[in-house]
Structure 1
């Protein structure tokens, strides 16, 4: 065999070895490349590897590949350039334009167009520091994390590959089809798809906005959001609670110290639990709820077992919806001019009207009014307009304990500062009126029956009474009045149930008036 042939075979074997098995002396790292040359970089001797460069770190199971790698001779430093990729045993992948790795600290710094992939999570950043031993990454100069339909961005962040938890700090924004979360600190578990946020946080959704100073959690896959001491703003309503839970950005459950406030009508309802349905535009409040509203600079209190707030379209002002509030069971009403009880009530915040239903009893001044349905309109200048439909019965006690009484089918009345000014009674009208002398001695009693009564009272004194058609009436002198004649049929005095401000507020354990 000629010397030329032997030289050719030797050269071919040498080139093959460079391509497949350029190997390090260290047992923990092996590397291959298409070419290997001695070089001097930054005045430091090194090896320059080019062409399909591949480093295998056997201790951690990580494989590094790049177009070009510089391995320094006198220090444990590797610098990689061009199409840099790192892959571990679990298939986690990191891509970048440049890499610097110190084998002593096991820290790799990747820069420029960095992409990190782990299972179904992808991160983008301009700089990433990766701890090969601890499987931990830290991001700086901005980071974006994507998983399914969720996008999470932040100024800085860290990812733990063992616990599958990412922590983000500074200008954190998480967005998906349901919510956009703004926070300064957020932890995200990539396996359970759960985000935990700390400190001041704001969340926007189609239905409104949520804010809290105490953080919470968002389970993305379950479409479940939990707030601690948060506020949910829905159009012109604001719902605060110790604990707020939202489901699919549509329904909400609030517990603890619950407060529902109208931003337009100066009204608030407190309670222990509230539920909100976006589909029905309905909020239900339970747990000894109390409604407080300001009407003409006067506070009005309404107590019930349950409040249901319905949002209805305002035809005249579409941007200003009407809130119709239904009070259910054990209703108690207190305002300085008017008080009442019932088993049901409807309060309209836009026009300050209250409709008492199911056995209502109303007190205005010294007058007790009952009927199947009582409608109150609270007007300006301490005026109250009252409508009673069906089975009207009105009574008032005089100074000596007699009860003046009026009954009929329905009534319309105007009250000024708690005193009747005008009253109209229609249908089967009947009245008892006791006449007193100046010393309050009983003079006699008028008993009248008529289809229509028109009554005007001034300074609590009967000024005019008109009957249509001609009434049937009897006057009984005091000495001829029998006890059974002093009460009209169906007369009941409910004085022991007369609400006061003190007994209404005493039922409120939250003391948030």
Structure 2
């Protein structure tokens, strides 16, 4: 008895399962219904298995299948296969928001796959999709084309060779020759995902956006097509008037004329042929301003050479006719044969004037120059170094490189220097000048130490070495034999030797990895 009850329960569960399965299959394979047939005929010779319906004076042929209604001039219904082919002024409605027009369609009621052909236009809300041929999977609510298509919404016209429309997600995926036309910009991409509700575009291949006064390129990124702002994080580049910005990641906003970049940044000034490299930068196009930090270096091209400037923070301001670079905190510069450090550097690009502020020190050849403030001037035409000005507490020091007995020194209130071929050739010290100089004969034998005080000293240099000294006005000097030169007189008041801070190459320019 117990065994019979068990068998009965088992058979009942199987029956319930089969009934449920059958109901599900029938629901999936719901038959295509004809709502209005107009004229009817059969033609087994030419269209075996088809019921042929043609519109009449009362209206078009109308069919319905699982929430979609379709009208046409003529339809071929294959009831046994649950499919239909229709042609002539096709119009399809799905719900209240999706409509489709075409010349003809082929539809399978079992798979719910629809193929529209000829002058196809699908309208979803306010977005229109146009193509010569469109495939529509009603089961997954997905439409796609592979022979070229056009999408039109309230802001943009998008075209591509391949496209897929995910209707419920309001999302398009475009491939090959993707193009967006907007009254304010154009966009071209190899691959793009576009959301019709937010107007967001995700770029997944080489992409170029050209606006009224900017051009943006990336190989992976995002663009808000409505607000004209976005970012790129692969091979990104933006052209802003006379600047080109590259970086691992670049963000920009057209409304504020703002761009920022992160890591491996290069900002090129195409007018002045200068470059800023850093790991973070901001560009404000409307006010011609650049801010850079994190290992920031400005590179300014001089004749067959470059001037490198580094600081914790770099600012570039001013129009192309009056562009100024400022470096703040721990500022350093380097060029072939010359380098220096201070707190702040101000460089006027169009006039080629470099101002050093805050305990500046400059090295040229074997000479070290210090003072309260310094200016380095270049010839704007030749871009060669022209002159040097030191204001207050000017001091020149170089080692006695022959016998290493001490330091050659010259000091004064102010200093003026002249360059030839980018090397210091002449130095003039003014007011309260003093000098200590180790003197050698032509055989490089030391014959004394010159200790002189006067009103003005002129030094002639070659390859950084002093070749001639001229004393002017109220000269009071003594040449001491080396053994009689007092130890306490070997360094002038204010002497400082900062060789351990000297920048010998570009590798020495940045000392703090955080900046």
| 1:115-264 aligned within 5 A | 115-176=121-182, 179-212=185-218, 214-221=219-226, 223-229=228-234, 230-248=236-254, 250-263=257-270
Whether the 8 Å CA contact 1:286–1:305 is kept in 2: the answer is yes
- In the alignment, does 2:265 pair up with 1:288? no
| 1:498-509 aligned within 5 A | 498-501=502-505, 503-504=507-508, 507=511
3-state DSSP class of the match of 1:344? strand
* Inter-partner Cα distance in structure 2 for 1:153 and 1:436: 82
Which residue number corresponds to residue 370 of structure 2? Answer: 370
TM-score by structure 1 length? 0.80
| 1:69-468 aligned within 5 A | 69-72=74-77, 76-82=83-89, 84-89=90-95, 91-176=97-182, 179-212=185-218, 214-221=219-226, 223-229=228-234, 230-248=236-254, 250-263=257-270, 267-292=274-299, 294-310=301-317, 312-314=319-321, 323-348=323-348, 353-378=353-378, 384-399=386-401, 400-416=404-420, 420-426=424-430, 428-438=431-441, 439-441=444-446, 443-450=448-455, 452-457=456-461, 460-463=465-468, 465=470, 467=472
1:266 Cα shift? 5.4
> Cα 1:342–1:401, aligned 2, differ >3 Å: closer, same or farther?
farther
> Cα 1:435–1:167, aligned 2, differ >3 Å: closer, same or farther?
closer
1:232 Cα shift? 1.9
Whether the 8 Å CA contact 1:455–1:466 is kept in 2: the answer is no
Deviation per residue, 1:187-209 (Å, 9 max, x gap): 11223332112122222233432
1:62 Cα shift? 0.9
Q: Which of 494, 497, 513 in structure 2 is aligned with 1:493?
A: 497
> Cα 1:260–1:27, aligned 2, differ >3 Å: closer, same or farther?
closer
Deviates more, 1:470-479 or 1:330-339: 470-479
* Inter-partner Cα distance in structure 2 for 1:216 and 1:104: 40
* Inter-partner Cα distance in structure 1 for 2:77 and 2:449: 121
* Inter-partner Cα distance in structure 1 for 2:86 and 2:70: 11
RMSD after superposition: 3.3
Which residue number corresponds to residue 12 of structure 1? Answer: none
* Inter-partner Cα distance in structure 2 for 1:185 and 1:435: 73
* Inter-partner Cα distance in structure 2 for 1:463 and 1:275: 50
1:182 Cα shift? 0.9
* Inter-partner Cα distance in structure 1 for 2:370 and 2:208: 49
1:420 Cα shift? 3.8
- In the alignment, does 2:474 pair up with 1:471? yes
Whether the 8 Å CA contact 1:108–1:129 is kept in 2: the answer is yes
> Cα 1:107–1:455, aligned 2, differ >3 Å: closer, same or farther?
same
3-state DSSP class of the match of 1:152? strand
In structure 1, runs of 5+ residues without a counterpart are 1-25, 315-321
Deviates more, 1:267-276 or 1:360-369: 267-276
Deviation per residue, 1:82-107 (Å, 9 max, x gap): 2x322212521222343333334423
1:113 Cα shift? 3.3
How many pairs does the alignment contain?
470
| 1:51-62 aligned within 5 A | 51-53=58-60, 55-59=62-66, 61-62=67-68
Deviates more, 1:88-97 or 1:342-351: 342-351
Q: Which of 23, 30, 35 in structure 2 is aligned with 1:32?
A: 35
3-state DSSP class of the match of 2:508? helix
> Cα 1:448–1:293, aligned 2, differ >3 Å: closer, same or farther?
same
> Cα 1:245–1:422, aligned 2, differ >3 Å: closer, same or farther?
same
TM-score by structure 2 length? 0.80
In structure 2, runs of 5+ residues without a counterpart are 1-28
